[in-house]
Structure 1
Amino acid sequence: MNREPHLPPEVAQAPFRPLRFGVTRVHVRDGPAGVHYLRAEQALQPYPARMTDRLRHWAHERGQRTLFARRRRHVAADGTVTLTDWEHVTWAQAWATARALAQALLQRDLSAERPVLILSENSLEHALLALGCMVAGVPWAPVSPAYSLLSSDFAKLRHVWVTLTPGLVFAQDARYARAIGAVVPPQVEVVLAEGALPDRAVTPYAALAATEPTAAVEAAIEATGPDTIVKFLFTSGSTKAPKAVINTHRMWCANQQQMTQSMPVLAEEDLVLVDWLPWNHTFGGNHNVGMVLYHGGTLYLDDGKPTPALIGETLRNLREIAPTVYFNVPVGFEAIAQAMQTDAALRRTLLSRVRMFFYAGASLAQPVWDSLYASAVRELGLRIPMTSGLGMTETAPFALFVTSPEVRAGDLGLPTPGLEIKLVDVDGKTEVRYRGPNVTPGYWRNPEETAAAFDEEGFFRSGDAVRWIDETDVHRGLRFDGRIAEDFKLATGTFVSVGPLRARLIAAGAPYVQDAVITGLNRHEVGALVFPTPRVRELCPLPPEASLHEVVEHPAVLAHFQRVVDELARQATGSANRIARLVLLADPPSLDRGEITDKGSINQRAVLTHRADTVDKLYEDALHPIVKPTVQPPTDTLSTRTLP
């Protein structure tokens, strides 16, 4: 019997490539007033006191193996960048350079009060300087390049500066000149990896890396411990100014051990990653870089991104380098799934030894998932398990992970060993809260926000809502149920659960919906702002040079989305889950305005704030064209939650 009717039988019945899941059972303890506490049945095993110990260990054990690799960049006179062969940094080279850089940092009297600010995309120099900071016991803070390169007023960068009071700034090259000139005081040293800055003296990165280490380096290592701050990672600042999340050695090391026990594949063979995820986010900078450091692996820096202009570089790298596990955001997997349908070289290399796919940052549409399965079965006769979980910057970030390959989009699974979670009713939804060694002690220089973030038992309030996959079997774990702060009430008092509704819309519109924002706060009906994918052009006969504005207004495109809203309307049980009006947006979400993060997830609140005029016009029928369902609306039923 085909247990997955949305898949062809030959795909649905294909076995999975073998993959062990470390946590499959959970202890549940009931608390007062419907509160529940969950712990994995297996205990957390010992972990190092500091990540520096892993760096030193692997430098001695695997000195000649590649730790980091990145394609060499050649910049032409007109600014065109060409990426050529791979430049490799071995574990032994990384350890030697980190010690040299640590010595240079120690000579500058830097500290948590005067940390290192990094203004750079992922690069070899960025990676090595971060390791040098770690060895010296000097925290660093990688900041979103968008704050410097895309912002017009540098407001978020100024906030970061005031919060941290850095003692040294590292920038990759002169592209950061405007931001540095606007925000960094003249007395603060600036280190540049490439080139020079106009009207400002800089220290070449190479000069720091040539410093001769002394006994002070070993003394600095010994002075660090589990509570030493490794780095500051900033939250996205979707609702307030970005907060500096304190990341300690205990958090990072405990979380890597937790990941190892939840995902045993990480320790079963030599780890190889090909990764573009930005290091100013916890997914790329803690989760992925951390696992490479912890397990003595190799990280190929991918200069591509899941955008039309840069996805080609990611595909090129995946045709050449075979990862053992692969991480991406849903929009990245969508591009890869589409390419694998016709790209035999991509299928052959990417699927050759990858044991597991993992997505985070947003919901993955089931058709994309199914397409990845189909390509793997075509190439291997096996399905590659698609996995996911839940975490956040404040949990270092790994917290929940699925328990088997038999999962669906939205499944989160069970807590990782050593982490206790608390399920609490908040306005009729179930919030998940965290307590464990991987949870941050708080926000730097922000005692008010720190106090508000923890409940009376010391559990971190995540703001994420969850529900059971199967209420009759708690060992299957939890599903994502949206963000509590995103949910709202219609003018009728009917409560709208944004996360599940948004996921249904994306799935119904796949593969032509990149993301969507649900509207309707204090209105009488639910609406949607839809950001289409580039593939939406396939729906109409317009030439490639046609603008996206022309495409989204084409009758064939509108006819497709008419079918989508009609089908969703037929499934609706009341006004809370019926999309009554929808508009396609030709202007993509903006990084600079915080509408989308560096890793590709949508910021619902920021979109609604910056496009308030569009929302008003949507409800005034002043936009053209607006898609409305032709199916009669249902009468609200008990499945629609109404609050007083």
Structure 2
Amino acid sequence: MSFDQSPKYRPLIFGVTRVKLRDGAPGTHYLQADQPLLPYPERMTDRLQHWAETVPQRTFMARRVKQADGSLGDWRHLSYAEVWATARRIAQSILDRGLSVERPVVILSENSLEHGLLSLGCMIAGVPYVQTSPAYSLISTDYDKLRHVVNTVTPGMLFASDAARYGKALQAVATPDMEVVLVEGELAGLKSTGFDALCATAETPAVDAAIAATGPDTIVKFMFTSGSTKLPKAVINTQRMWCANQQQMSQSMPVLTQGPLVLVDWLPWNHTFGGNHNVGMVLYNGGTLYIDDGKPTPALVHETLRNLREIAPTVYFNVPTGFEAIADAMKTDPVLRKTLLSRVKMFFYAAASLAQPIWDSLYESEEQEIGERIVMSTGLGMTESGPFGLYVTSPEVKAGDLGVPTPGMAVKLVEIGDKTEIRYKGPNITPGYWRAPVETAEAFDEEGYFKSGDAVKWIDETDIHLGLKFDGRIAEDFKLSTGTFVSVGPLRNKIVAAGAPYIQDVVITGLNLKEVGAMVFPTQAVRALSGLPADASMHDVVDSAPVLQKFQQIVDELAKTATGSANRIARLCLLADPPTIDRGEITDKGSVNQRAVLRLRADTVTKLHADELHYIIKPQI
């Protein structure tokens, strides 16, 4: 008697399971889904109006109310009907001010109901909006990136949640012709307006006229890149781009259309993952978005866990550090397990490395609670692609798998040295960068394909229908001073696998130097390894003897399998401070931005290779 030992997964339909491949010029191939892109609306406004008319009382957005003492209380809900009516009044206020593509709206602050309403009001009025990283205002001291955003788009209006937190930034960048809109407080010396005044504007027929005047080529927003090596570029996002991408997502991920969609989401709207991918899927499919004020950091993850104990999502998106925290919490939190797993049909993580022990821990909790696993999906995309581009085709996903192209998007695979770059063409691809003709021209090849800079290879060369997997960034690879070429992607993955579950990600060093080094971002699992109290600082944790001993073992094991200087880790250090989205160390895809980390932590790189750090781990074999 034989038994089927394959794991059982909660049912999930994969929309694209077959692809078509054709050869081009030598070293070039073209790949696309074996199904067409179905029709999609001309503008996202149509979807908002549709849901306001068909399910007017359904909650579109909700957020916990901030209390006088700073704590978060009960949820405040906004229905589709309320959002539609309020956004139309805001649109009227925008039209009254004569705002336009030349004088758009810049939003400085974090995710909020007011932030969401203002962006929808802009969309109805046909006026672009720009969602900037709150770090540009709250962490920066020179406001250079915020000033760059303002100089690039020349806004007529600046919005922030409150004067107390954003006042200095507003004072630094606002000019007399820019109106400042605040939810709370006032600012002396600036032309400021309360957000409630926008919501109270009397609507006129100009609103419907503005909607009718918008179409597929209307610019919805400018979304800035992370700017790891240069100042951020303003990616043009049109109605066609957003609508097409949402239809592509619905066809690739049919789960989005199966019953009311519910998201609990912290991902920042100034990044394409949160602001386009997730907000867009809720709006396109008539779902409900619970704005999570938590984050996958030790100080804020408790809020995310609190929300997931109360609200059961139907699909759930996060970055690897978020899933790590959830996996750890589910081991001992039956309420979290019960609520989170009660109806979720799919987990989805961005293209960063998700250590296998985290997958195993999630699977163990899932099988314990519901007797089956939840599919952990992933894919590939970027700000310039809407962002959704590729999606996996099987529940048996492995770290680095990307899958196949979404319907309607053609992929060009171009051999560059020993790497293969993936390039995109389709209705979801940006027409270019705002007021940057040179950068726009450089971003597209002679056939009009967008050059992503991402390297890929086949998951299985004998079965192209499984799709592609990630092979690093073309620009990440480098040469040692000896002329030896270092392929960063595979080496990084090898280190992460060897150090599981203690390594979250790795940055490879050694450009123009004699040896390869590694700077490791550890997971929270090293805390238990250290034997120190739970409240010990991460700096003390990574300096502890048990942790250093463990990483010595990891480095020695890696050395045993090294075949030369290009893949031998000659020196390694542990980074106590995690990478941050706000500083550009995390890409829009959720992966560590190697170049940004190397630039921002250049002093650590120098000291690592000069033997000047307190602890440097080197092979002892």
Q: TM-score, normalised by structure 2?
A: 0.97
Q: Say whether 1:46 aligns with 2:7.
A: no
**1:212-243 alpha-carbon deviations (Å, 9 max, x no partner):** 11100000000000000000000000111100
How far apart in 1 are the matches of 2:300 and 2:541? 22
Q: Shift of residue 504 of structure 1?
A: 2.5
Amino acid at match of 1:109: G
Structure 1 unaligned spans of 5+: 3-8, 632-644
**1:442-500 alpha-carbon deviations (Å, 9 max, x no partner):** 00000000000000000000000000001111111000000111111112222111122
Q: 1:87 aligns with which of 76, 79, 100?
A: 76
**1:262-287 alpha-carbon deviations (Å, 9 max, x no partner):** 00111011100000000001100000
Q: Which residue in the other structure is 2:140 paired with?
A: 151
Q: Say whether 1:377 aligns with 2:353.
A: no
How far apart in 2 are the matches of 1:356 and 1:69? 22
**CA contact 2:272–2:588 (8 Å) conserved in 1:** no
**Identity rate, percent:** 70
How far apart in 2 are the matches of 1:436 and 1:29? 17
Q: Shift of residue 13 of structure 1?
A: 3.5
Instruction: Give the secondary-structure state (helix, strand or coil) at the position aligned to 2:620.
Output: coil
Instruction: Give the secondary-structure state (helix, strand or coil) at the position aligned to 1:129.
Output: helix
How far apart in 1 are the matches of 2:237 and 2:582? 25
Q: Shift of residue 628 of structure 1?
A: 1.2
Q: Say whether 1:99 aligns with 2:88.
A: yes
Equivalences for residues 368-517 of structure 1 within 5 A: 368-517=358-507
How far apart in 2 are the matches of 1:516 and 1:75? 42
Q: Say whether 1:28 aligns with 2:36.
A: no
**CA contact 1:318–1:349 (8 Å) conserved in 2:** yes
Q: Which residue in the other structure is 1:129 paired with?
A: 118
**1:540-560 alpha-carbon deviations (Å, 9 max, x no partner):** 233345443332222111111
Equivalences for residues 589-604 of structure 1 within 5 A: 589=579, 593-596=583-586, 601-604=591-594
CA RMSD for the aligned pairs?
A: 1.7
Q: 1:18 aligns with which of 11, 16, 39?
A: 11
**1:398-437 alpha-carbon deviations (Å, 9 max, x no partner):** 0000011012010001000000000001132000000000
**1:176-209 alpha-carbon deviations (Å, 9 max, x no partner):** 1010001111331000012222443420000000
Q: Shift of residue 593 of structure 1?
A: 4.4
How far apart in 1 are the matches of 2:232 and 2:337? 40
Instruction: Give the secondary-structure state (helix, strand or coil) at the position aligned to 1:75.
Output: coil
Q: 1:542 aligns with which of 532, 536, 557?
A: 532
Amino acid at match of 1:75: A
Q: Which residue in the other structure is 1:349 paired with?
A: 339
Amino acid at match of 1:472: T
Q: Shift of residue 439 of structure 1?
A: 0.2
Q: 1:578 aligns with which of 553, 565, 568?
A: 568
**CA contact 1:277–1:599 (8 Å) conserved in 2:** no
How far apart in 1 are the matches of 2:455 and 2:141? 35
Q: 1:298 aligns with which of 288, 293, 318?
A: 288
Q: Say whether 1:182 aligns with 2:172.
A: yes
Instruction: Give the secondary-structure state (helix, strand or coil) at the position aligned to 2:184.
Output: coil
How far apart in 2 are the matches of 1:57 and 1:26? 33
Q: 2:58 aligns with which of 65, 68, 83?
A: 65
Q: 2:196 aligns with which of 192, 201, 206?
A: 206
Q: Which residue in the other structure is 1:5 paired with?
A: none
Moved more, 543-552 or 424-433: 543-552
Q: 2:547 aligns with which of 546, 557, 582?
A: 557
Amino acid at match of 1:418: G
Moved more, 527-536 or 487-496: 527-536
How far apart in 1 are the matches of 2:589 and 2:35? 32
**CA contact 1:14–1:377 (8 Å) conserved in 2:** no
How far apart in 1 are the matches of 2:189 and 2:95? 27
Moved more, 503-512 or 403-412: 503-512
**CA contact 1:139–1:231 (8 Å) conserved in 2:** yes
Q: Say whether 1:267 aligns with 2:257.
A: yes
How far apart in 2 are the matches of 1:536 and 1:391? 31
How far apart in 1 are the matches of 2:521 and 2:399? 20
**CA contact 2:516–2:567 (8 Å) conserved in 1:** yes
Residues 206/598 of structure 1: CA separation in 2 closer, same or farther (3 Å cut): farther
Q: 2:330 aligns with which of 340, 359, 364?
A: 340
**1:139-190 alpha-carbon deviations (Å, 9 max, x no partner):** 0000000000000100101110110000111111121101000111133100
Q: Say whether 1:195 aligns with 2:185.
A: yes
Q: Say whether 1:327 aligns with 2:334.
A: no
Equivalences for residues 510-525 of structure 1 within 5 A: 510-525=500-515
Equivalences for residues 270-289 of structure 1 within 5 A: 270-289=260-279
Residues 220/400 of structure 1: CA separation in 2 closer, same or farther (3 Å cut): same
Residues 523/264 of structure 1: CA separation in 2 closer, same or farther (3 Å cut): same
Q: Say whether 1:310 aligns with 2:300.
A: yes
How far apart in 2 are the matches of 1:589 and 1:194? 31
How far apart in 1 are the matches of 2:237 and 2:130? 10
How far apart in 2 are the matches of 1:82 and 1:158? 32
How far apart in 1 are the matches of 2:295 and 2:537? 22
**CA contact 2:350–2:589 (8 Å) conserved in 1:** no
Q: Shift of residue 288 of structure 1?
A: 0.5
How far apart in 2 are the matches of 1:138 and 1:365? 42
Amino acid at match of 1:269: G
Amino acid at match of 1:152: T
Instruction: Give the secondary-structure state (helix, strand or coil) at the position aligned to 2:67.
Output: strand
**CA contact 2:352–2:589 (8 Å) conserved in 1:** no
Residues 100/592 of structure 1: CA separation in 2 closer, same or farther (3 Å cut): closer
Instruction: Give the secondary-structure state (helix, strand or coil) at the position aligned to 1:278.
Output: coil
How far apart in 2 are the matches of 1:579 and 1:481? 19
Amino acid at match of 1:99: R
Instruction: Give the secondary-structure state (helix, strand or coil) at the position aligned to 2:457.
Output: strand
Q: 1:169 aligns with which of 155, 158, 167?
A: 158
Q: Which residue in the other structure is 1:638 paired with?
A: none
Amino acid at match of 1:49: E
Amino acid at match of 1:20: I
Q: Shift of residue 531 of structure 1?
A: 2.2
Q: Shift of residue 346 of structure 1?
A: 0.5
Residues 38/489 of structure 1: CA separation in 2 closer, same or farther (3 Å cut): same
Q: Which residue in the other structure is 1:217 paired with?
A: 207
Q: Shift of residue 502 of structure 1?
A: 1.6
Between the two proteins, the alignment pairs up a number of residues equal to 620
Moved more, 547-556 or 273-282: 547-556
Q: Which residue in the other structure is 2:105 paired with?
A: 116
How far apart in 2 are the matches of 1:363 and 1:622? 29
Equivalences for residues 600-619 of structure 1 within 5 A: 601-619=591-609
Q: Which residue in the other structure is 2:353 paired with?
A: 363
Q: Say whether 1:141 aligns with 2:141.
A: no
Q: TM-score, normalised by structure 1?
A: 0.94
Residues 290/590 of structure 1: CA separation in 2 closer, same or farther (3 Å cut): closer
Instruction: Give the secondary-structure state (helix, strand or coil) at the position aligned to 2:22.
Output: strand
Q: Shift of residue 611 of structure 1?
A: 2.4
**CA contact 2:256–2:285 (8 Å) conserved in 1:** yes
Structure 2 unaligned spans of 5+: none
**CA contact 1:144–1:598 (8 Å) conserved in 2:** no
Amino acid at match of 1:488: F
Residues 181/596 of structure 1: CA separation in 2 closer, same or farther (3 Å cut): same
How far apart in 1 are the matches of 2:532 and 2:271? 38
**CA contact 2:356–2:501 (8 Å) conserved in 1:** no
Instruction: Give the secondary-structure state (helix, strand or coil) at the position aligned to 1:273.
Output: strand
Q: Shift of residue 563 of structure 1?
A: 1.5
